C-alpha cells in the first residue's frame, strides 16, 4: 500500500491509497456538508442536494449521468449523514478517466428549478416511507430527544414541512457555501497511478471556486429523556435507547466499538443471549456511532407490545451489569476477532478502503492503514473497557418507545 496526498491551488485536497495487487479502483468526493450543518428552515437540504446532483449538469442531463456511468460498468452511489455527503464510484482502472469525468461533473450541478420541484416530490415520498417504518420513527425521535437542540438531533431527511417550504435559491445558496473545494476531500483507493490521479483532479476540479466554510462542532451530552409514541397500527413495540459515547477524535472509539459488539452484536452478544435466544424479543442490538466532537451508543429492541416493559428491564439489567462487573477477557477476545475480521474483509475491496480512508482524513487528519487499525483494536484491554464505562455510563439513557401501547416507563 502506498499513501499519497496533495492540495490543489483552490484548496481541494487529494488523497490516495494505491495497491498494485487490486483489480479495481474506487474514487469519491467527501463533502463536509451534513444534517448538522443545517438550520431548522433548511432541514434536509444536504440529502435533497445529494439527489439533485444526479439530476443534471451543464454537460449532462439525468439520463446521461446514469448512461455514462453504465457505459463503463462503474458502480456509483452517494449517501448523506449527519457529518458529510459522500459521492463515489468503483470501476476497472482502464475506465477511471471516463467514470471520473462523470463524478466530477455532478459535483457542479445546475440545480434547475423544474428538476428541484420534481425531486421535491421524491424526497417527500421518501420521508413518508420512513414514517411508515417504526424503527425509523423511533430512531429519529430518540436522536432528537437525546441531543435536544444540538444539530446532531437533526433529521437527515428533514420533514415534510421543511422540504415543502424549501426554495431552489435556498439550495443554491447552501451549495455555494458548503461545496467549496476547500470543504471537499477527493479520495482514491485501489489500483492506480498517482500522477494520473493528480492530473485528473487538476483537469476536472481546478476551476472550482468558493470560500472555506466553517463548522462549529461543540461537544454535547444527552438529556436522558423518555418518550412513548402511540402507533396503533403497529404489530410490535419498537424501542431505541441512546447513551453518550466517545467522539470520533478520541482513541477510546476502538474500545467503544468493541463494547458495543460485546453487548449488542446481532449474534452471540449479551443482549442476544438475554433477550433473543430465550425468545423474549425478536430484536435486541447495540451499535456505537462516533460523531465530530460527540458519540453515542444506540440500543435497539423490538418485541410484542405486552412484553416491552419486562424486556426493557432485561435490557437495563444487562447494561447495569456490565457497568458494575465490566467484561471478561473471553468476551473481549471474541469481540476483537469479530471486529478485526470484518475490518479486514471490508478492506479487501477498494470501496471499503476508500470510505475509511476519507473519513479518517477529513475528521482526524490522519492516514490509518489496515495494520494500524488492527493494532489499535488489539491493544484494547479489559481495564480500558472499564475506564470507558466509568467515563461514558450506558445507564440511564434516553428511551423512545413506539408502538400500539404507551403503557411503558423507564425501568427503575
The pLDDT value given to residue 213: 87
Q: Determine the 3-state secondary structure of 187 from DSSP.
A: strand
Q: How far apart are CA 288 and CA 297, in angstroms?
A: 5
What's the gap between Cα 229 and its chain centre?
25
CB 208 within 8 A of CB 12: yes
pLDDT for residue 68: 98
- Round to whole Å and give the CA distance between 367 and 346: 17
CB atoms within 10 A of CB 266: 14
Q: How, if at all, do strands 25-31 and 184-190 pair?
A: antiparallel
Q: Is 29 exposed, middle or buried (0-12, 13-18, 19+ CB in 10 A)?
A: buried
Separation CA 241–CA 269 (nearest Å): 17
Q: With respect to CATH, is domain 226-403 assigned 3.30.830.10?
A: yes
* Residue 312 host element (H or E): helix 308-325
Give one DSSP letter per residue of 52-74, joined into a string: HHTTBBSS-BHHHHHHHHHHTT-
pLDDT in tens, the chain (412 residues): 899 999 999 999 999 999 999 999 999 999 999 999 999 999 999 999 999 999 999 999 999 999 999 999 999 999 999 999 999 999 999 999 999 999 999 999 999 999 999 999 999 999 999 999 999 999 999 999 999 989 999 999 999 999 999 999 999 999 999 999 999 999 999 999 999 999 999 999 999 998 888 888 888 899 899 999 999 999 999 999 999 999 999 999 999 999 999 999 999 999 999 999 999 999 999 999 999 999 999 999 999 999 999 999 999 999 999 999 999 999 999 999 999 999 999 999 999 999 999 999 999 999 999 999 999 999 999 999 999 999 999 999 999 999 999 999 999 8
In sequence order, what are the beta bridge partners of 80? 85
Contact 92/155 with Cβ under 8 angstroms? no
What residues have CB less than 8 Å from 307, skipping those under 6 apart?
A: 237, 280, 281
Where do you find CATH 3.30.830.10 in the chain?
2-205, 226-403
SS3 (DSSP) at 31: strand
pLDDT for the residue 407: 94
Rounded to 5°, angle at Cα 50 from 37 and 364: 50
Per-residue model confidence (pLDDT) at position 216: 82
What strands, in cross-sheet order, belong to the sheet with 294-303? 226-230, 398-403, 237-244, 294-303, 283-291
Residue 276: which of 287, 260, 265 has the closest Cα?
265
Report the phi/psi class of residue 3: left, alpha or beta, with left for phi > 0 and alpha for psi in -120 to 50.
beta
Name the CATH architecture for the domain at 2-205.
2-Layer Sandwich (3.30)
User: How confident is the model at residue 120, as a pLDDT?
Assistant: 97
Q: Is the pTM of this model over 0.75?
A: yes
Q: Are 28 and 199 in contact (CB under 8 A)?
A: no
End-to-end, the C-alpha distance of the chain in Å comes to: 52
Residue 216: Cβ within 10 Å count: 8
Amino acid at each position: 500500500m502506498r499513501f499519497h496526498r496533495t492540495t490543489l491551488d483552490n484548496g481541494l485536497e487529494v488523497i490516495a491509497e494505491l495497491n498494485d495487487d487490486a483489480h479495481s479502483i474506487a474514487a469519491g468526493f467527501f463533502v463536509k456538508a451534513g444534517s448538522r450543518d443545517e438550520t431548522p428552515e433548511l432541514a434536509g437540504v444536504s440529502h435533497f442536494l445529494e439527489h439533485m446532483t444526479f439530476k443534471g449538469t451543464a454537460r449532462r442531463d439525468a439520463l446521461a449521468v446514469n448512461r455514462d456511468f453504465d457505459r463503463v460498468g462503474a458502480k456509483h452511489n452517494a449517501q448523506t449523514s449527519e457529518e458529510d455527503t459522500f459521492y463515489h464510484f468503483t470501476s476497472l482502472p482502464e475506465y477511471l478517466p471516463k467514470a471520473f469525468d462523470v463524478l466530477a461533473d455532478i459535483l457542479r450541478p445546475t440545480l434547475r428549478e423544474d428538476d428541484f420541484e420534481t425531486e421535491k416530490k421524491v424526497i417527500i415520498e421518501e420521508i413518508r416511507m420512513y414514517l411508515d417504518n417504526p424503527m425509523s420513527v423511533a430512531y429519529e425521535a430518540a436522536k432528537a430527544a437525546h441531543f435536544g437542540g444540538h444539530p446532531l438531533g437533526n433529521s437527515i431527511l428533514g420533514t415534510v414541512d421543511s422540504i415543502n417550504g424549501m426554495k431552489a435559491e435556498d439550495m443554491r445558496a447552501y451549495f455555494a457555501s458548503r461545496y467549496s473545494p476547500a470543504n471537499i476531500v477527493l479520495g482514491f483507493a485501489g489500483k492506480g497511478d498517482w500522477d494520473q490521479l493528480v492530473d485528473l483532479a487538476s483537469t476536472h476540479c481546478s476551476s472550482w471556486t468558493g470560500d472555506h466554510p466553517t463548522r462549529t462542532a461543540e461537544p454535547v451530552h444527552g438529556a436522558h429523556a423518555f418518550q412513548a409514541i402511540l402507533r396503533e397500527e403497529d404489530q410490535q413495540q419498537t424501542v431505541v435507547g441512546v447513551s453518550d459515547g466517545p467522539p470520533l477524535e478520541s482513541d477510546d472509539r476502538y474500545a467503544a466499538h468493541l463494547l458495543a459488539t460485546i453487548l449488542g452484536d446481532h449474534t452471540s452478544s449479551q443482549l442476544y443471549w438475554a433477550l433473543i435466544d430465550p425468545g423474549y424479543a425478536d430484536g435486541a442490538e447495540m451499535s456505537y456511532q462516533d460523531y465530530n466532537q460527540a458519540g453515542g451508543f444506540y440500543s435497539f429492541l423490538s418485541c410484542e407490545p405486552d412484553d416491552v416493559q419486562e424486556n426493557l428491564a432485561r435490557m437495563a439489567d444487562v447494561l447495569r451489569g456490565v457497568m458494575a462487573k465490566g467484561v471478561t477477557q473471553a468476551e473481549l477476545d471474541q469481540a476483537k476477532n469479530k471486529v478485526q475480521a470484518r475490518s479486514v474483509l471490508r478492506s479487501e475491496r477498494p470501496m471499503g478502503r476508500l470510505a475509511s480512508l476519507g473519513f479518517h482524513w477529513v475528521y482526524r487528519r490522519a492516514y490509518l492503514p489496515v495494520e494500524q487499525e488492527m493494532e489499535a483494536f488489539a491493544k484494547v484491554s479489559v481495564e480500558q473497557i472499564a475506564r470507558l464505562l466509568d467515563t461514558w455510563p450506558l445507564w440511564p439513557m434516553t428511551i423512545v418507545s413506539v408502538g400500539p401501547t404507551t403503557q411503558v416507563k423507564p425501568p427503575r
